[in-house]
Structure 1
Amino acid sequence: MGKCPFSFMHGIQSRNNNEATPDKRSKDSENHTPATTATVHSLHGHEELNEQMRMIDLTEEDLDLLRMMKPIVEREINYITDQFYNTVLGVNKLESIILEHSSIERLKGTLKQHIIEIFDGKVDEQYIAKRLTIAKIHKKVGLEPKWYLSAFQNLQNVFITVMYNETYKDNERLKVVQTVTKLLNLEQQLVLEAYEKENIREKEEQYLVVKNELKQKIAEFSGELIDLSMDTNAAVEQLVASSNEVNNSFRRTASTALGSQEMAKDGQGHLGSLSGQINLIYESTNEMERSVKELSSSSLQIQKIVAAVQDIADQTKILSLNATIEAARAGEYGRGFSVVASEVSRLAEDTKSTVVRIGDLTQKSAALTSQVVKEIRKVQELTKSGKEQSVETSRLFSDIVDSMQTSTQEIVTVEEEIRVLIHTIEGIGATTAQTAASAEFFKSATDNL
């Protein structure tokens, strides 16, 4: 790459009579005093871009200088593009992007055209449109801004090297470097802004897609939530009705249990009275047994007396027989005595007969008394068993009363808990209704998104 005098600098400076001469410009540059130059013409409808060009001090003189440098760039274009792609292809990721979407030779041709257009010195609508297209292509192939900036810095280095070798004076080199830097900076601003706008557009599209999907999901969810809330509300209403029925049943059961408890207490009292009466019967049978025993003892005494009277009757009859015999021996003198003896004998017979009947009755009475004693003993056994059963039944009734009292208390407690449950369920019903209303509002709000 050969050097040549950078004589076109003088032509640029002479275009403006108000500008300093080359020597004066060099001196101003050495004294750090900027020369007054005309800014680039404003582009209609690009206010911010105009401000950007003013901010980086891009002037018409810079654009003229770019046009002056174009022949050099065209001459060194192969060197510039080769140096650029040698660096780019050293990054595996960038090489993969290039080979996936295009070819190196094709991209070199595109880059040559692009670089030469930069040095046309025209910042117009077409220039801006091409930069935006470049940004969209970079975005589409997945080239991240950091790699774009790195590659552009490499391109800038190559430009500066080429231009530096084409000048002899420091002030000229400085002007060329500043001009190239300004234009490449503007290029970067345009492309990065396009990057940002494309990112925003993609994010907006993604947002719209996500928004629509979310809107659809929310609408579906809201519809399902409304249906579920309605079903839940119906179920809660049915549950409240069932709980009220259960509560009424518990109330009736509690009332019945309380009545049964009172009847059990009454039954327990009657059992107590019955137990007392059985005790009295038991005591009465004991008294009867004692009386029957005494009666049996009296019967035995009567039997003894009957036996003694029978013996006396037998002796009397013997005496009467003896008297009759003695009266017969006495003859006429003993006839009256014989009558007496006969009467005594008859009386003895009557006495004996009566005593025999008394004895029979006494034996029968003894037998009946013995039977009565046996029956009384049976009654005593039954009374004793009844007494024991009465005590056991009384104990069972007492247990029943205690159990029913506990059950009644538990029923009352359950009734209170059911009351609380009904209140809670009613609260759930109200909350469900409110949830349904919220879901309806949510759905309506979603439809308005």
Structure 2
Amino acid sequence: MSIFAKKEKTVALLEEANKQRQFVRIEIHNDRDLMQQLSIIDLTLDDLAVARALQPLIQENISTIYNPMYNNPFPGIRSVVDMTPIGIDLAGSQQYVVSFFDGIIDDKFAGKRYQLSKYYLKTGVEVKWYLCTNQAFINNILDLIKEAYKDDSESIALASKVISKLFNLELQLCLSALQELQNEAAATKEIQAKQNIKGTIGAITEDLAAMSEEVGASVEDVIVRSEGIKTYLNEGLQSSIITAETSASGRKQLDQVIEQTVSLKDSVHHIQTSISSLETNSREIGDIVAVITSIADQTNLLALNAAIEAARAGEHGKGFSVVAAEVRKLAEQTKLSSNNITELVISTTQQIEDVVHQINNVNSKTVLVNQNVLETAESFDEILTASKTSREQNERNNQEIIKFTNILKEIGKADSKVADLADNLNETMQGY
């Protein structure tokens, strides 16, 4: 027994199609592509009349045609035939297939395919499962046709040809709409991506411009500060030069003081030697005076003895007595002079000792002064060395500051170019 319902009396398909010819139409407005497609697959009004003649058979057996696909457990097939997510139940889905055989191809017909494609795109239906399901429907319908017109090969051939054209058109419309929707979605994504890129680049260019402005201001500020540092370094360099010149002048004066100190030391040493000789001579004079004093004492004693002897001689010794008195007087004067000389020698010796002591003090102080002067000279040498080092360092720093300032100026120029590039990029993106 056949699984398909069968009319008690099968009317020849072509005869029935002629009756339906008056109810079919093709009314497409503003869709040249669709008209071209219909022309290429040669889908005519006669074909639509055949389709309309087959519709009662399709309607009677739609459950047998559609339900095997609807109840298929495979998700790929179910995603094509189950339209409940868009509010179309099983009966509505079945009638969608029946509508293939209405015999009318118009804007509404194309619109339904567009909406279905929109649903497929939204739910992520894969094309391969759509093609698979489409072919399964064709197979089920052809099986029905063969069973219903098994004794009429011409009707089977005619029906098969029309069904092939109808489902091919259905396939073209859905895939074309699907492609169009995908292109629109891609275009929307591209526009959104462009907007995002534009917004991102706009934000970047704004940030870049702001950063460029800040960098430019910072560079200008650093350049100004660098010029100030350069001025300070030049002043420091001049101060180092002045310090070096002053130190050199002071060093020359110290050299003169050292020479004078050495000369003074030599003079003091010479005086010290002379005073030592004078002290020796004074002592020798003292010794001579002591001898003279001793001789005067002995002469005085001899004069006294001579006077005594003259007194004993009486009248004969008077003349000798006078001589003895004169000799004694001379001896006493000599002793007195010797005593005076001795006192002068003692006083001179004391003064010489004082002078020697003072000269020794002067000599010690001269040595100390000479040592201090030498230490001061060493300090001046260190100052000269430090001044020279400072001057050389200042000169190097000055050269580095000049290089640094030149680099900053180059950075400023590059920053200006970056700002110009940011402006150009922003203008370019405005027209993007």
Q: Flag whether TM exceeds 0.5 (same fold).
A: yes
Cα deviation per residue 1:230-275 (whole Å; 9 max; x = unaligned)?
A: 3332222222111111101101111111221222233333333333
Which of 61, 65, 68 aligns to 1:76? It is 61
- CA shift at 1:423, angstroms? 1.2
Whether the aligned pair in 1 keeps the contact of 2:17 and 2:52 (CA below 8 Å) is no
The two structures have a TM-score, normalised by structure 1, of 0.82
Contact 1:97–1:142 at 8 Å: present in 2 too? no
Equivalent position amino acid for 1:361 in 2:
L
Q: Which deviates more from structure 2 when the two are superposed, residues 198-207 or residues 307-316? A: 198-207
* Residue identity opposite 1:101 in structure 2: P
Instruction: Write the distance in 2 (CA, Å) between the matches of 1:100 and 1:404.
Output: 97
Counterparts of 2:10 and 2:356, CA distance in 1:
163
Residue 102 and residue 135 in structure 1: after superposition, are their counterparts in 2 closer, same or farther (change >3 A)?
A: closer
Give the Cα separation in 2 of the matches to 1:43 and 1:98. 29
Q: Which residue of 2 aligns with 1:337?
A: 320
1:291-310 maps to which residues of 2 (within 5 A)?
291-310=274-293
What residue is the counterpart of 1:158 in the other structure?
A: 140
Indicate if the aligned counterparts of 1:97 and 1:143 stay in contact, CA closer than 8 A: no
Distance 1:120 1:365, change over 3 A: same
Contact 2:240 2:387 in 1 (8 A): yes
Contact 2:80 2:129 in 1 (8 A): no
Instruction: Tell whether the 8 Å contact from 2:80 to 2:125 is kept in structure 1 after alignment.
Output: no
CA deviation after TM superposition for structure 1 residue 217, in Å: 4.5
State how 1:40-439 maps to structure 2 within 5 Å: 43-87=28-72, 89-91=73-75, 94=78, 101=85, 106-168=88-150, 173=156, 175-439=158-422
The normalised TM-score by structure 2 is 0.85
Alpha carbons of 1:263 and 1:410: their partners in 2 closer, same or farther (altered >3 Å)? same
Residue-by-residue CA offset, 1:84-128 (whole Å, 9 max, x unaligned)? 2122x421895699698367xx43222212111111232222211
- Cα contact 2:223–2:408 (8 A) shared by 1: yes
Q: In structure 1, how many angstroms separate the alpha carbons of the residues matched to 2:59 and 2:79? A: 26
Deviation, 1:311, is 1.0
2:12 maps to 1:8: yes
State the identity as a percent: 27
Question: Cα 1:125–1:343, aligned 2, differ >3 Å: closer, same or farther?
Answer: same
In 2, Cα distance between equivalents of 1:323 and 1:79 = 200
Change in Cα spacing, 1:291 to 1:150, as seen in structure 2 (3 Å) is farther
**2-structure distance, mates of 1:162, 1:313:** 191
Q: Hey, what's the Cα distance between the residues in 2 that align with 1:412 and 1:75?
A: 108
The letter for the 2-side match of 1:126 is: K
Closer, same or farther: CA 157–391 of 1 in aligned 2, 3 Å: farther
Amino acid at match of 1:158: N
2-structure distance, mates of 1:248, 1:363: 75
CA distance in 2, matches of 1:274, 1:365: 34
- Over the aligned positions, Cα root-mean-square deviation in angstroms equals 3.3
Distance 1:348 1:165 in 2: 198
Give the counterpart letter for 1:376 in structure 2: I
Contact 2:285/2:345 (CA < 8 Å) preserved in 1? yes
| In structure 2, distance between residues paired with 1:230 and 1:275 | 65
